[in-house]
Structure 1
Amino acid sequence: MKLVYVFDAYCGWSHGFSETLRQVVSRHPELPTDVVSGGLFTAARRVPIREFGYVQGANAQIAELTGAEFGEAYERLIADGSFVMDSEAAARGVAALRQAAPDRAAELATTLQHAFYVDGLSLSHAATYRKVAEQAGLDADAVVGAFEAPEAQDAAAKDFHRSAELGVTGFPTLLAVDGDRVTVLAHGHATADEVDRRLANLS
């Protein structure tokens, strides 16, 4: 059995799930964890953030429920409403980091969300992946190269397709996958204890 975490790096609720994910992964070192980008803001949804009028209200709700931090640099980044969240670019970055350190994919996914939601760094810029890679002790040149490579678009498209194949309809979703059996452990929000109880019911 393995865990499959389907999220979007530009999803506030996924950011709110970061601490739960960290705890679950640390409690279950025996379970490999795949990280899949879901593609929340693509095609017609790739528009200036001002068109999503609910963002600040939702973020306040997420912070209250999960304790997740939304930093001042992030607030400045989105203040004028012109910032565009591009989930394909973020998925390319997730794929580049995942390629550099497959066994640290969950950790790197949460680090990437911190880079956006706390440090206010765009997930469309190569410099963001350089910084994340350097902080994680990875080969930053290799990560940036992978982010900018044509193959990264294929990796993003494969992630979006896998998310759909798994039947995921919202982010974040944490799944337990055992052969053909797929069980939802968390959708939107859950504590690590709640996930543990659901895992225990599978054994």
Structure 2
Amino acid sequence: MQLVYVFDAYCGWSHGFSGTLREAASRHPELPVVVVSGGLFTGPRRVPIREFGYVQGANAKIAEQTGAEFSDAYDRLIADGSFVMDSEAAARGVAALRQLAPDRAAELATAVQRAFYVDGLSLSEPATYRKLAEEAGLDADAVVAAFEAPETRAAAEADFHLAAELGVTGFPTLLAVDGDRVIPLAYGHATADEVDTRLAAVSTR
């Protein structure tokens, strides 16, 4: 069995789920965690953030329910409304980091979200992934090269297709996958204890 975490780096609820993901992964070191980027802001949804008028109100609700941090640096980044959340670029960044440290995928996915929501960095910029790689003790040049490589663009597209194949329609979604069985453990928001309870039920089936 493995855990499959389907998220989007530009999804506030995914950011709010970061603590639960880290705790669930630490409680179950025997279960590999596969991280899949879902592609929330692609195609016609890749527009200036001002077109999503609900963002600030949604973030306040996420912070209240999950304790997630939305910093002043993030507020400054999006303040004039022109910032474009490009999930394809973010998925390439996640894939580049994942490529160098696949066993740390969950940790690195939450670090990517922190770079945006706490450090106020664009997830479309190679410099963001250089910083993340250096902080994680990875080869920063290799991560930046991977971010810009055509193969990583293909990996991002493969992630989007896999999310669709798994039937995921919203983010974040945490699944237990055991052979052909795909069992939902969390959608949107859940505590690590709730994930544990659902995992226990899966293992007794």
Q: Return the TM-score normalized by structure 1.
A: 1.00
Cα separation, 2, equivalents of 1:113 and 1:202: 29
Distance 1:109 1:202 in 2: 25
Question: Equivalences for 1:38-187 in 2 at 5 Å?
Answer: 38-187=38-187
Please give the secondary structure, in 2, of the residue aligned with 1:62: helix
How many Å apart are 1:51 and its aligned residue? 0.1
Question: What amino acid is aligned across from residue 132 of structure 1 in structure 2?
Answer: L
CA distance in 1, matches of 2:95, 2:202: 29
Give the match's secondary structure for 1:4: strand
Deviations 1:67-118 (A, max 9, x none): 0000110000000000000000000000000001000000000001000000
Letter in 2 for 1:37: S
Letter matched to residue 150 of structure 1: P
Which amino acid letter does the alignment assign opposite residue 18 of structure 1?
S
Q: In the aligned structure 2, how far is the partner of 1:100 from the partner of 1:113?
A: 18
Which runs of 5 or more structure 1 residues have no equivalent in the other structure?
A: none
Name the CA distance, whole Å, in 1 between partners of 2:42 and 2:165.
17
Q: Distance in 1 between matches of 2:111 and 2:95?
A: 14
The 5 Å alignment of 1:11-22 reads 11-22=11-22
Q: Distance in 2 between matches of 1:9 and 1:186?
A: 17
SS in 2 for 1:202: helix
Deviation at 1:35, TM superposition (A): 0.1
Work out the CA distance in 2 between the residues paired with 1:146 and 1:72: 30
SS at 2:36 equivalent: strand
Q: Percent identity?
A: 82
CA deviation vs aligned residue, 1:157-190 (integer Å, no higher than 9, x gap): 0000000000000000000000000000000000
Per-residue deviation, 1:150? 1.0
SS at match of 2:198: helix
Matched with 1:4 is 4
Shift of 1:23: 0.2
Structure 1 consecutive aligned stretches of length 4 or more whose deviation exceeds 3 Å = none
> How far apart are the structure 2 equivalents of 1:71 and 1:28?
30
Letter in 1 for 2:31: L
Q: Which amino acid counterpart does residue 55 of structure 1 have in structure 2? A: V
Write out aligned runs for 1:22-33 (5 A): 22-33=22-33
What is the CA–CA distance in structure 1 between the aligned matches of 2:13 and 2:202, rounded to whole Å? Answer: 26
For structure 2, the residue ranges without an aligned partner over 5 or more in a row are none
TM-score, with structure 2 as normaliser: 0.99
Taking the aligned partners of 1:150 and 1:168, their CA distance within structure 2 comes to: 26
Please, what is the CA RMSD of the aligned residues?
0.3
1:152 deviates by 1.2
* Distance in 2 separating the partners of 1:156 and 1:96: 9
